[in-house]
Amino acid sequence: MTTAVLGKTVVITGANSGIGWVTARALAAQGAYVVLACRRSEAAAEAREQILRQHPRAKVEMVTLDLASLASVRAGALEISERFPVVDILINNAGLASMRREISADGFELTFATNHLGPFLFTRLLLPAMARPGGRIINVASDAHRYIGRMHWDDLQLDRRYGVMRAYAQSKLANILFTRELAARLEGAGIAVNALHPGAVATGIWPQNHWYERAFSNLLKLFLVSAEKGARTTIWLATGAEGGASNGGYFINRKPRKPAAQARSSADQARLWAVSEQLVGLPAFSDKELTA
């Protein structure tokens, strides 16, 4: 057993299924103190029991977290800060791809709210608990940003023109822009911030509320890899030396890759950061956020 995460506290969003659950199981088996941050408490409880059945001595806890609700994100971050004063690794794994344009509890386009705004706020609120050398923040992005991803600055909530891949690719591009900007702002703080593409993975991000959504999801699965394969790079970044040495990197199949040009725009990084602060109601970033 590797000792890289032994005794460390790891918070994983969307850890009740798919890549998140596989990651949680692997890190718990290696001795990490794993916190499952999930929207549905019943699903989280079942995921926890499954891990404990396989690894009875594992340390696994749960926190309710709905990334589409800023109130839930604030409550979840507060609970984690109170229960776990030190967070060593944060894995922003949860994701959504909504077939139809839906609105979050706060009035934002649901995919953008879940995949970017929620993780942005959650990460910022947990920074005081991570403000020590050796911390790692891992954002699960997607290579979808490369092909059709762009920030629709004049229609960020996609009011005028919505498409499932249009929304998803924008949110995944936002993940990488956020990763790079956060890495730059945390330079010298001892916290490594990286993003990754897990591959085209058979997970539950695609909704299945209607017959055509179920058919689309089932068709996709014919071309997708397993969650076990999809989780490899996340686990590697959490446990391997590269995950601590790199900062602002983007990885595919446990190797560094250059993201698309639109993900490397320093102007867009700064713009997205400022817009996100405004939308979630955070003050401008300050080094004081790194003080508990």
Other Cβ atoms less than 10 A from the Cβ of 214: the count is 13
d(C-alpha 175, C-alpha 166), whole Å: 14
DSSP state of 258: P
For residues 240 and 222, the answer to whether their CB atoms sit within 8 Å is: no
Phi and psi at residue 147, in whole multiples of 5°?
-95, -45
Using a 10 angstrom Cβ sphere, with 0-12 exposed, 13-18 middle and 19 or more buried, the burial of residue 72 is middle
Is there a catalytic annotation at residue 168? yes
Residue in 33, 147, 162, 168 annotated catalytic: 168
For residues 251 and 244, the answer to whether their CB atoms sit within 8 Å is: no
d(C-alpha 98, C-alpha 115), whole Å: 11
- Look at strands 255-256 and 89-92 and give their pairing: unpaired
d(C-alpha 106, C-alpha 85), whole Å: 28
Phi and psi at residue 256, in whole multiples of 5°?
-70, 140
For residues 37 and 12, the answer to whether their CB atoms sit within 8 Å is: yes
**Which stretch of DSSP H or E encloses residue 78?**
helix 70-83
The residue count for the chain: 292
Q: Which residues pair with 92 in a beta bridge?
A: 139
- Look at strands 249-252 and 191-197 and give their pairing: parallel
DSSP state of 256: E
Active-site residue set: 168
